[in-house]
Structure 1
């Protein structure tokens, strides 16, 4: 029920990966189990986070808007036409998720991932320390009530 409400509140109307909320007592993060899915991905070679996000966003936005071999968006994703955009079959994954508003610039993103890591250490949760994900759900033109997340992968 909570998952459905949360997805409805920050849904942009775009297709999102399917996930299930797992039991959790912490007020400052969620635990989610994502189902296996196909992800459209890109590689960006830069150390400057804000620049990488802008470049990566445009590559993936172009793919969604038709820069692919079938020139349309569908459940069976068409092959990208840009060499550094690719389809990746990812297995199920369990992640710890911290949500935040505003624009996810480099400094804010770093603050949120460090806060999530501290909360997980406080609660004795094991997670991969060298990899994290950042998820943004809003158009760059949306100015208010933005929804962003940082994810750390649960370690068994």
Structure 2
């Protein structure tokens, strides 16, 4: 058995998320703009300061084009609302931020390190498919990039999530 597993399967409970969808020319632009909007929601929409607190990971839901060779422009960035605010999340002042109730989620996940660009994400998806082999158990057009550290950290920890189909 390897010291570190190549991938793992996880189950996440249903919950409320603050979400922003952006469709900039570059993936990095979309997540940067979305992340800044979510940080303002978390920290600055209240005179008390950072009242929600940061939860990790921050998720970026991506879709591949029909050819499977590029990312669609629209990226949904999601921040999990902390437990004490799940029942009654603060209403966002920014109309681009919406609160969404997400169903439970089963994923197969693999860690990777570094910056997340369209190129690195496409490479990680391809590597993960090689590792998993052919399977119909996961979606093949929707993926999630989970970010665990500040985007300015060059060798930050990320994960690529393959979403399990409902059984």
The TM-score range, normalised by the shorter chain, is 0.7 to 0.9
The 5-angstrom pairing of residues 110-149 of structure 1 reads 110-122=122-134, 124=135, 126-144=137-155, 146-149=156-159
1:103 aligns with 115
Q: Give the Cα separation in 2 of the matches to 1:127 and 1:140.
A: 27
CA shift digits 1:99-123 (9 cap, x unpaired): 111122221111112222232235x
| TM-score, with length taken from structure 1 | 0.72
Which has more helix, going by share of residues?
1
Matched, 1:56 2:46: no
Aligned length: 129
2:60 aligns with none
| TM-score, with length taken from structure 2 | 0.68
What secondary structure sits across from 1:67 in the alignment?
coil
From the superposition, tell whether residues 139 and 94 of structure 1 become closer, same or farther in structure 2 (CA, over 3 Å): same
Query: How far apart are residue 68 of structure 1 and its match?
Result: 6.3
CA contact (8 A) 1:34 1:92 kept: yes
Q: Give the Cα separation in 2 of the matches to 1:68 and 1:45.
A: 28
CA shift digits 1:20-46 (9 cap, x unpaired): xxxxxx942111100111111101122
Structure 1: which 5+ residue stretches go unaligned? Answer: 1-25
CA shift digits 1:64-87 (9 cap, x unpaired): 113269973163121111111111
Q: Which of 67, 70, 75 matches 2:45?
A: 67
Q: Which of 69, 94, 99 matches 1:82?
A: 94
Root-mean-square deviation (Å): 2.4
The 5-angstrom pairing of residues 21-32 of structure 1 reads 27-32=5-10
CA contact (8 A) 1:96 1:151 kept: yes
Which has more strand, going by share of residues?
2
CA contact (8 A) 1:68 1:80 kept: no
1:153 aligns with 163
